[in-house]
Structure 1
């Protein structure tokens, strides 16, 4: 079950936590979260430990290659949605139309394509949650989620019981059932840190208003014409 997919222009912990919370608003706070050692996950880890408690596997860290399900989902996501943008951005860069070191280019890229990427993610998430699983007798992830909620309520599962009534305290000894437990390490490992910085808007408020009024970022040309027009506008003011 994919509870959220959020396109963002940075990988800050606050951004990731905000996206995570949108998922909890729809599906509740899970009993446990499994994550890699990335810096962007520290906020989610702190929330889970504060909300669910320490020393019970509330936030389990480990390399994503040990999680075959998420690796399979990333492959499907790339094949079904994000590979189009990967190829498009690579073409823009190779043709000299996109300079990754130019902050104006990067801001225009975000301005034009983040909404498009988000729409692609939303479509993928809806399709993923509604696709039939041969291993589950044709039931969809959404059906399995609802069925599990109904069947497991009152059985001591924190993530489920909290949506119905207060769950009893539990002490799970075997965290390996949920993945690799690295002693609930919330602090990121230095070798896993990748910093994606925000790019400031190069326009003042008046010019930004003019841009939004004159540029339709919803064109039918995969957004390339919008990107080039946005760059031209920013360089002209």
Structure 2
């Protein structure tokens, strides 16, 4: 799995990190500017998602040497067919969300605990209750753009195809978005 995360970062996300760094270096992106932040999100989020979706598709179809050169997708389908043919595939998607959402779901109180030194280095779940509202989250740097800002930006930029090829890796679309949003609020 660690190798997979490395590959995702290297093959999927590094490209976008380099674009964002370049935009900062040439003074087209200022993360302190709310217009720049929301335009960056609106323009590049669909591109990043598309890249991640392509990575998933590629992963699901790659050959696994230790599984007879079958892909993860083929392994799943073959195991599903085998389960159906043997009569133990129920089609049951699992526990209901209300059960699976319980914070203690999946914990066995009877199971032995790991060694104390391992418990000390275990990560803890984020405590989202410390921020009473979006303003406090923004102040702490948890939320940078809220849903209302993103929705308003998308409405102003409606009609723009953020996945279109501008011949400049999305940079021209980003600049156009910044200009339109700036004109909307200034003009």
Cα displacement (A) at 1:233: 1.4
Partner of 2:54: 123
Contact 2:38 2:150 (8 Å CA) reproduced:
no
CA displacement, residues 158-211 of structure 1 (integer Å, 9 cap, x when unaligned): xx85625999xxx795898xxxx96xx996257xxx964151455996x85453
Gap regions ≥5 residues in structure 1: 1-68
Cα distance in structure 2, aligned partners of 1:146 and 1:204 = 39
* Number of residue pairs aligned between Structure 1 and Structure 2: 150
Determine if the alignment matches structure 1 residue 114 to structure 2 residue 45. Answer: yes
Cα displacement (A) at 1:131: 0.3
Secondary structure at the aligned position of 1:234 is classed as helix
Determine if the alignment matches structure 1 residue 74 to structure 2 residue 5. Answer: yes
Cα distance in structure 2, aligned partners of 1:235 and 1:128 = 40
Partner of 2:167: 220
Gap regions ≥5 residues in structure 2: 96-107, 128-139
The structure in which a higher percent of residues are helix is: 2
TM-score (norm 2): 0.63
Cα displacement (A) at 1:154: 10
Contact 1:108 1:231 (8 Å CA) reproduced:
yes
Cα 1:73/1:195, change in 2 over 3 Å: farther
Cα 1:198/1:151, change in 2 over 3 Å: farther
Partner of 1:232: 179
Partner of 2:145: 199
Determine if the alignment matches structure 1 residue 149 to structure 2 residue 86. Answer: no
Contact 1:100 1:106 (8 Å CA) reproduced:
yes
Cα distance in structure 2, aligned partners of 1:164 and 1:202 = 40
Contact 1:104 1:202 (8 Å CA) reproduced:
no
When Rg is computed on C-alpha atoms for both structures, the one with the higher figure is: 2
Partner of 2:135: none
Cα 1:144/1:174, change in 2 over 3 Å: farther
Aligned CA-pair RMSD: 3.9
Cα distance in structure 2, aligned partners of 1:77 and 1:231 = 29
**Matched ranges for 1:16-31 at <5 A:** none
